[in-house]
Amino acid sequence: MKNLKLKSARAAKDMSQQELADKVGVSRQTINAIEKGDYNPTIRLCIAICKVLDKSLDELFWEADE
């Protein structure tokens, strides 16, 4: 499942995939894969992303049951 919440939070900070990747210590391809839903990040990486984007784990990574 695509992570549109991550993509929109990154865009709201006017941050490129490369900039986010540099801040959390991964490749741009990793950020791209997370946004596309092709990669399931570790909890440690999720937390690092949340800190950079000033969001909670729930806000970026929790899938609501609809």
What confidence tier does 1 reach under pLDDT thresholds 50, 70, 90? confident
Task: Give me the CATH code for the 4-57 domain, please.
Answer: 1.10.260.40
Query: pTM of whole model > 0.85?
Result: yes
Q: What is the pLDDT of residue 65?
A: 62
Report the alpha-carbon distance of residue 8 to residue 25 in Å, rounded. Answer: 20
46 and 61 Cβ atoms separated by less than 8 Å: yes
Q: DSSP class of residue 26?
A: S
pLDDT at residue 14 greater than cutoff 70: yes
CA angle 59, 14, 20 (to 5 degrees): 70
The residue among 28, 61, 32 whose CA lies nearest residue 44 is 61
* pLDDT tens digits along 30-55: 999 999 999 999 999 999 999 999 99
pLDDT at residue 66 greater than cutoff 70: no
